[in-house]
Copies of this chain bind each other. A is one copy, B any other.
Amino acid sequence: MNAALDQLKFDSNGLIPLIVQDVKNGQVLMMAWMNREALERTLATGKIHTYSRSRGRLALKGESSAHFQHVKEFWTDCDRDVVLFKVDQDVAACHEGYRSCFYRKHEAGDWTVIGERAFDPDKVYHK
């Protein structure tokens, strides 16, 4: 159906690494995995879907929080074994409440939290 997807190289588990980047400022928001179905659902709906290895199933990113990632650009790399999506991010990408999952910076041999929470995870996930 989509010849471009046929050219991608999935690993022995049928998965391909996914990098999601903020289309507005270039911030890397998260790294996750996709299978062919997640890719097809992402292109069909315009919202990022991943394959959750921990849950063993397809997952709409933002299905619990309603913080969706709206696809603006779709890229692959030289080996066609990684995909990169540039998105419009609703509120925040990280389940910890931060805009990006990459909120820990290495400084003086330890991790420093950079950035403030965009939402309170306890409230959003009704824990």
Tell me the A residues contacting B by CB distance below 8 Å. Answer: 2-4, 7, 17, 19, 21, 25-28, 30-31, 73-80, 82, 84, 94-96, 98, 101-106, 109-111
A8 to B17, CA, bound (A): 19
Additional A-B contact list (14), CB under 8 Å, known A26-B26, A78-B103: A3-B110, A4-B109, A17-B17, A17-B31, A19-B28, A30-B77, A73-B106, A75-B102, A75-B104, A75-B105, A76-B111, A77-B103, A78-B96, A84-B102
Candidates B26, B104, B110; contact of A25 at CB < 8 Å: B26
> Given the interface contacts A95-B78, A104-B76, does A28 sit within 8 Å of B21 by beta carbon?
yes
